[in-house]
Structure 1
Amino acid sequence: MDFVSPKGNKLAWSGISIRAASDANLNSPVALDIVMLKDEASLNMVSGLSAAKWFATRAELAKTFPQSLTYRSIEVTPGQTLRLPASEFGSVRVTAAMIFADYLTPGEHRVRVDQMQGDVLVQLGAQAFTVVPQAAN
């Protein structure tokens, strides 16, 4: 007898913390999208996009992949700190999760985060951002 197991992995995040430097995005708000991709087709389409291309095409991509692509949008101002608990993202299984940041400076401004565990820390700097896992407190 064959059993069908759900595809993808459950996220091992305890939450996402976001810290914006006082000069983040050249002293401008930063739009962030946390994107959940539930199959290889959506991953292949999105993984090579720069943040600028993601933000320009996200509505169309969501229509093209309505069952396999979801995202959560947040805007963070310079100096702001916030935390999103894991419950904000549900218990869905994903093939991949990515964060895109809409910076004024050129660059890819995307990070894949589905393999991170504990608290995921997003640090928004003047011209770019970093994402690092931290031990849950």
Structure 2
Amino acid sequence: MALDSLTLDVAQRANDDMPIAVDFIAVRDPALLEVLSGITAQQWFNDREQYRRDYRQQFSVWSLELVPGQFMEAREFPLSGDQAAGLLVFAGYNTPGAHRLRLDEQRRAWLRFDSREMRVLNDSGR
């Protein structure tokens, strides 16, 4: 896994001022990566436990709950030692949308959680 620095930046009143469940998934199996790359965050959170039962050795998950206004820098990314075909991020927004990103080849990522969607910012900041 290439990612070794992660910044999580949540907008004030994001997600209608409600917490956002966020899962980072390091996927080892390329076929499973393609499957997970085609689902929405809502599908992931609804079916996460079934995926764990079906593919328990094929991926690792780091789960967080972020709150509006939160700012966090993870200098040591918990999944950084995993050998993976790819890295996905799902955010549990309460609005329609995929709410999914792939962060496969990045060494540093700054994720901005706006009111209704997340995006990757460049290293220069907010």
* Common fold: TM-score over 0.5: yes
Q: Quote the residue 1:121 is aligned against.
A: 110
User: Is 1:131 paired with 2:120?
Assistant: yes
Contact persistence 2:60–2:79 (CA under 8 A):
no
1:23-56 Cα shifts (integer Å, max 9, x gaps): 2112111110000100122212211010000000
Point out the structure with max Rg over C-alpha: 1
Q: Which runs of 5+ in 2 are unaligned?
A: none
Q: Does 1:12 align with 2:41?
A: no
Taking the aligned partners of 1:133 and 1:35, their CA distance within structure 2 comes to: 21
> Which deviations, in whole Å up to 9, do the C-alpha atoms of 1:82-126 show, x marking residues without a partner?
122335214121101000000011000000001112x21110011
From 40, 55, 60, the counterpart of 1:65: 55
Is 1:79 the counterpart of 2:69? The answer is yes
Quote the sequence identity (%): 27
> What is the TM-score normalised by the length of structure 2?
0.91
Q: TM-score, normalised by structure 1?
A: 0.84
| Larger strand fraction of residues | 1
Distance apart, 1:133 and its partner CA: 4.9
- Supply the RMSD in Å over aligned alpha carbons: 1.5
